[in-house]
Amino acid sequence: MTEEEKKVPWLDTPDPQRFINNAAKFSDLMMMYRCAIREVQTKLEVLDDEFSVEYKRNPISFIKTRIKKPESIYRKLQKLEIKNMAQTTVIPAVIQEQLNDVAGVRIVCAFIDDIYTVADLIAGQDDIKVIKIKDYIKKPKPNGYRSYHMIIEIPVFFSKGKTPMRVELQIRTNGMDFWATLEHQLRYKKGIEELPGYEDISEELYRSAQAVIEMDNEMQQIKNKIGMFHDI
């Protein structure tokens, strides 16, 4: 690095390459997040297996996982105005302390009450610490988005000892997931805000979200009429 480059504040550079070049420590940290996801996924699979045997049904339709891309982590740290990001000794600690959603697990359930059942079972495990909860089902976002978000901290055992790792859980129904996935693809398409009729598109997306809400509620009511878990 030239003397001139050293004078440039890390957050002022438009190129995230310096951030990505902290390869060894960054790679280690991403490995730790992947392991944290596996720990969470195993817990969910155990619960789902138990329900399959005990109640003859599975509350979890499917599970998806993801790790934030380096570019996304970089941009989020920029928004937080984190200083000294170029220092290799700082990056892992800053990411772990400041970002709660580097590791993500999406849990898709059949019914609304399954969401709260899964959330309660996860929160009730004595090795899991719940950091934050945002219930966008009871209080949807203005655009119609609904989901149950949890930030949890789970211990992961490595060769050098135990490390608490944070993971974001998003728990939603099949309908909520269908809408959220398509809405994200449409709304975040490059330049969509400049399209003629963008406000009409937003209104249509909102109306479709309301239709999903009605469907979820109706399916929940039908399930309630049929009976408890073991009767379905």
- CATH code of the domain covering residue 149: 3.30.460.10
pLDDT at site 21: 62
pLDDT of 109 above 60 = yes
pLDDT for position 218: 94
Query: Given a cut of 50, is residue 7 above it in pLDDT?
Result: no
Nearest partner of 218 among 153, 171, 173, judged by Cα? 173
pLDDT at 38: 97
Kindly report the pTM of this predicted structure.
0.81
- Reply yes or no on whether the pLDDT at 70 is more than 80: yes
How many whole angstroms separate alpha carbon 170 and alpha carbon 149?
A: 5
Query: What are the residues facing 105 on neighbouring strands?
Result: 65, 169
Residues designated as active site: 168
Is the pLDDT score of 12 beyond 50?
Answer: no
Query: What mean pLDDT is reported for the chain?
Result: 84
**pLDDT of residue 116 exceeding 90:** yes
Question: What is the residue range of 87's domain?
Answer: 3-231
3-state secondary structure of 90: coil
Do 123 and 150 form a contact (C-beta atoms < 8 A)? yes
Q: Report pLDDT digits (tens) over 141-181.
A: 998 999 999 999 999 999 999 999 999 999 999 999 999 98
pLDDT, residue 5, reads 42
Q: At what angle do helices 198-226 and 174-187 cross, to 10 degrees?
A: 170
Number of domains in the chain: 1
Find the range with the poorest average confidence among 25-34, 70-79, 162-171, 174-183.
70-79
**Is the pLDDT score of 13 beyond 90?**
no
